[in-house]
Structure 1
């Protein structure tokens, strides 16, 4: 078994197709919402990501098959006055789970974050996704809090459409 972990080239057709396929597989999973991406999103995802300054994706290939994906976006910590990498999507195809693919991809994201002078990595995870939570804890992530008395930060959203 050969595993390759690398940055995606959004303008490369093979990478763009893998990105779309992997994200769609994640979207159709119950932890991704259980609904496929629209055909328009699948078609334009890589080109739109290429337009976003600070966006990057890490792809995992196992025996030259797309196995995993992490989509990231640069952000900024005002308290530290340093950049942050926000991990937006983490997906590993079911046939490749348990092989350490997510750990290898996380290591690549961490390497990139350190090269860019980042002070931390951030991500959100569903309360019910205990497998992902365990993997993130094993990698060193924990709930964010400034003061235990005030509790952990919550990730909220306000849809605009």
Structure 2
């Protein structure tokens, strides 16, 4: 059984769970294939609080209700669509623990993200996905996402 809830950005236990799940994702081949930096570990929740638009969802496997097991994470940021003149929710990270993959955790996280976006009166959800992350692309297509027309590229410039 799966339970998904919003993380409390002021709660140390939620912070620890989110950091560990994000570290798991960073170590994955679809992440950076290396551990989450100490700076990122220490700055994740303080930075999301400062941003003011951070939305963190944590998925728990709850077959043992006394010991829920964190198995998934979504980190999203509320933004603004200038073309729509309204709020949007950008999915920044979606991560599912290797042991829980293929069990619908990602699909349920995507449904929870959409519910949260609707509750926040967002009119659009955006995300980026690696071109070689076919598993994620398949999930996103199954839940109604598609590549933008014309095709969009995500570019970045590292400043540190």
Q: Who is 1:79 aligned against?
A: 83
User: Which of 104, 120, 123 is the matching residue for 1:119?
Assistant: 123
Moved beyond 2 Å, runs of 4+:
none
Whole-angstrom distance in 1 between the partners of 2:123 and 2:147: 16
3-state SS in 2 of match to 1:51: helix
TM superposition score normalised by structure 2 = 0.92
Matched, 1:140 2:144: yes
Matched, 1:98 2:97: no
User: How many aligned residue pairs are there?
Assistant: 155
Alpha-carbon offset, residue 48 of structure 1: 2.4
Matched, 1:157 2:152: no
Deviates more, 1:10-19 or 1:81-90: 10-19
Over the aligned positions, Cα root-mean-square deviation in angstroms equals: 1.1
Alpha-carbon offset, residue 62 of structure 1: 0.6
TM superposition score normalised by structure 1 = 0.91
Q: Who is 2:11 aligned against?
A: 12
3-state SS in 1 of match to 2:153: coil
Q: Who is 1:62 aligned against?
A: 61
Q: Runs of 5+ in structure 2 lacking a partner?
A: 63-67
